[in-house]
Every structure is written in structure tokens, then in C-alpha cells.
Structure 1
Amino acid sequence: MAFNGTEGSFITLTAGAAMTETFRNTFLGNGRTRKAVFFGKDKLLDILNQTDCVGIRCYFGGVVTTVDPKSSVIDFSLVLVGATANENDMLGEMDKILDDGVPCPAQCGVSNALNPSTLANL
């Protein structure tokens, strides 16, 4: 089935809070602290404004974080790429692939249902 640019569903804050809580309870700890990644509007629009792009596919990735001189942990990240109506990633030499978003923590914003203050500085 082809993509048409309307994929995805808006959810309630309650549903989103439950999902982020499940993620935190399941995956954080043992040195892993990253619970969100921020990408700027301009970078997202750079992807979306590419010819034939109908949306963005987000791949889960891992980034090595040094805990101390003798140990490191793989923390979570996202890799974003444009996708076409025929469901293919846009991977040409001139296409945009986005990474290096701003991690939370350290830049998380104020406490809210998706980002409770008890976890703001994990």
C-alpha cells in the first residue's frame, strides 16, 4: 500500500504519557538516560521539502555514551530520512538524512506528562 502523506494518528496526552512511561520503565537505566531527541523545524522541513517526499521515516539508532574511562553504554537516538509514496527511503547522494538531535536529558524543557520532573535529570 503506497504512502499518501496522511499516515499516523494524533493521540491524547494521556495515551502519549502512558507510552513514554512504558518506554522509560522498560528501556532506561543501566547508564541509559536518553528519553527524547529534539529536531529543529528547519531541518525537518529540509527533509519534507525534498522532491517526491511524502513523509519522514524515523529509525531507532544507538549512540555510544562514555560512562567512565572504563565503560560505555549504547543510548538511544533517531535517524530521520524522507520517504516516497512508494514507501522507499530517500537515500540518494543529495537527499537529507538527519541525526544529531538535541538529547533529553540534558535539554528537556519543563516537567510535563510526557517528561515528568522526577526523571528530568536522569
Structure 2
Amino acid sequence: MTDRKDKFHGDVGSFITGHDARARTTRFKKRKEEQGYKPDTFTRAEFFGSNRINHLLGRKDCVGIRIYYGKRHEDADENPVGDGEGELKSRMVIVGVRADGSDIFDDPTGLKDGGDGDALADGNTCPRHCPTR
């Protein structure tokens, strides 16, 4: 049995070719359309800036990031709205991860400030902000 700490380090993940990346994302889009979604009506990607990602990676004890699938209520312009309002949309939530596999964020509930940018979310979505080619 592999020790848990061996699974969380700076070299986890595989580089893939552009061809493989396009094939995977094309497969996703095709599957959604087979499920009845119209083209450009579902989120295919989110863009996050390098400064924001580097902020997470620069946190004490951070060896990588974990990307969660999440949902939030949004209006037609992708602005957050209250629960039950607008439309519930899929969005990414990115957090730093320690070598023991634990997420690096504190629950600021009850604290004076709201934390220091514990998690990253609300990137620019595609199809709204897709590559031009």
C-alpha cells in the first residue's frame, strides 16, 4: 500500500499533447450536445490568471492545487445572485493543497476578516470568453 504522503507532491499529473487535450475537450462538448444541450449554452472551461494561481501556490506548505467542481446561482451576465435566483451554473473552485493531501483554507466564519483569498473561483468562462481560434 502506498503511503498517502507519496500521492501529494509537486510532480503529480501528466503533460499531454495538444492533440490529446483537444480530443478530450471535444469529447466533453460532444457528449453534452448528445445529452440535449445546445452548443455554447454550457460552460466548457474557465480562465484564471497566473497571479491568482501563484498566490495559491505561494501559500505556506502548498505543494499543488486541487480543482473542485462547484455550482453557484448567476444572472444572464454571469454575476452572482442569491440562492434560488437566476440559474445554477457549474463553476470551478481552486484551492492549495498540503503534502498530506489537506486543503489549505481556513473557515473564516465568525472572524473579523474574510480570510486572505483562501480559494480561487469566478474565472472567465468559455464559451463567453473562449479562445479566438
Partner of 2:126: 104
Report how far residue 66 of structure 1 moved: 4.8
Is this contact kept in 2: 1:61–1:79, CA < 8 A? Answer: yes
Report how far residue 64 of structure 1 moved: 3.3
Q: Distance in 2 between matches of 1:37 and 1:50?
A: 22
- What residue ranges of structure 1 are gaps of 5+ in the alignment? 112-122
Aligned with 2:24 (options 19, 22, 33): 19
Q: Distance in 1 between matches of 2:103 and 2:92?
A: 15
Q: Deviations 1:41-74 (Å, cap 9, x if unpaired)?
A: 000000000000000000011233456xxx9643
Residue 92 (structure 2) pairs with residue 81 (structure 1): no
Q: Distance in 1 between matches of 2:22 and 2:16?
A: 10
Report how far residue 76 of structure 1 moved: 2.3
3-state SS of paired residue (1:46): helix
Q: Distance in 1 between matches of 2:16 and 2:29?
A: 19
The one-letter amino acid of 2:9's match is N
Report the structure, 1 or 2, having the larger strand content: 1
CA RMSD of aligned residues (A): 2.2
Residue 17 (structure 2) pairs with residue 6 (structure 1): no
Normalised TM-score (structure 2): 0.71
Q: Distance in 1 between matches of 2:98 and 2:32?
A: 31
Partner of 2:58: 49
- What residue ranges of structure 2 are gaps of 5+ in the alignment? 77-84, 107-114
Q: Deviations 1:15-42 (Å, cap 9, x if unpaired)?
A: 1111101111223525842111000000
Identity among equivalent positions (%) equals 31
Q: Distance in 1 between matches of 2:117 and 2:72?
A: 22
User: In terms of mean alpha carbon deviation, does 24-33 or 85-94 score higher?
Assistant: 24-33
